[in-house]
Amino acid sequence: MTLPASAYQDAAAAIRARCDLTPRWAIVLGSGLGPLADHVEVSAEFAYEDLPHFPRSTAVGHAGRLLLGRLEGQAVVVMQGRFHLYEGWSPQQTAMPIRVMHALGARSLVVTNAAGGLNPQMQVGDPMVITDQINLMFQNPLIGPNDDALGPRFPDMSQPYDPAYGETAKAAARRGDFACHAGVYAGMLGPTYETRAEYRMLRRLGASAAGMSTVPEVIAARHAGMRVLGISTVTNVCNPDALGETSGQEVVDAASNASSKLLAMVTAVIRSAG
């Protein structure tokens, strides 16, 4: 489903009607990572179903709320829950909130997710700064007519994640004395978790973590010229030679338990960009 530019403006206008805060940062909180929103000084809160053209969040661990407020003194707009292709939404719909947050004024994006760790050195609860991505969803939110007001027809994706933001996030992990990895995120369609053969394939492709989100959002953000920090929280270790079963609730619980690490990294980046 291709959305007209008016859809993004309609949603942004509905938000502005209740809150005149102009956010500098957009933050997307993935599965189980919603508690970070507790640290936002909230000025306004919106249920997704109250915003025009917004999809509905149906995934486990996604509250389905948009918050405007301040974090570390910076104006932010926060998605407490996101939309996934496996829920039946189109790539354009999954990326729509990024367009709306950009229309509100956000020029930097923090995107977080829960992911399966492919690096044998990873442990459950470890964060990973995303340095690059592989789109194995084989779908793209930019397919269809291009609106030049939103971005160029052929946007460059040679560096989707901002290196300076990533270095600041890793430095925060060192100060906090907790493990932090850096690597490539593979976006999978889902909703099934991967097979042993798929995990082996992902390792050979150079992926360090795999999940079912993030890629369409980052494509839309870079199309709009936004700087992006991406952080995955490892919620299950994907060893194809000793693979256990994984449930959605286990993923949410593991991410929630690691949210303090995420908070330290995100707030460090926001402070540094002051």
Task: Spell out the residues 6+ positions from residue 88 whose beta carbon is closer than 8 angstroms to its own.
Answer: none
102 annotated binding-site participant = no
CB 21 within 8 A of CB 12: no
Task: Spell out the residues 6+ positions from residue 221 whose beta carbon is closer than 8 angstroms to its own.
Answer: 26, 98, 102, 109, 111, 228
175 annotated binding-site participant = no
82 annotated binding-site participant = yes
CB 159 within 8 A of CB 106: no
Rounded Cα distance between 172 and 68, Å, is 25
Q: Closest by alpha carbon to 181, among 197, 170, 167? A: 170
Rounded Cα distance between 107 and 149, Å, is 15
83 annotated binding-site participant = yes
114 annotated binding-site participant = yes
Instruction: Mark the binding-site residues, compressed into ranges.
Output: 31, 62, 82-84, 114, 194, 213, 236
Instruction: Mark the binding-site residues for phosphate, compressed into ranges.
Output: 31, 62, 82-84, 114, 213
Instruction: Mark the binding-site residues for a purine D-ribonucleoside, compressed into ranges.
Output: 194, 236
